[in-house]
Amino acid sequence: MPAIEILVALRETPRLSPKLVASETGIKIQHVRNLLAVLLELKLVETPSRGLYQITDRGVHILNETIERKYHD
């Protein structure tokens, strides 16, 4: 899932630009931008400064739960 890949990238390297997220995940830049907008609205990521994104505590929690469910199902 692309949104999960974005959260993983932001967990591993805080404060990434959409361009760097796209580079690290292989997801097209426009898709990254669209997904970051949704993740921002859901409060799973935040923008500590203009053009940079980082995962929130809520985002880490959701990511961990998602990964745990994937491996326990």
**Residue-range domain boundaries for the chain:** 2-72
- How many angstroms separate the CA atoms of 36 and 54, rounded? 10
Supply the pLDDT for residue 52: 98
Query: For the chain, which ranges sit under pLDDT 70?
Result: 73
Question: Which of 73, 65, 71 has the alpha carbon at shortest distance from 4?
Answer: 65
Supply the pLDDT for residue 48: 95
Phi, psi of 27 (to 5 degrees): -90, 140
Fold of 2-72: Arc Repressor Mutant, subunit A (1.10.10)
Supply the pLDDT for residue 71: 72
- How many angstroms separate the CA atoms of 51 and 73, rounded? 37
Supply the pLDDT for residue 22: 98
Supply the pLDDT for residue 58: 98
pTM: 0.92
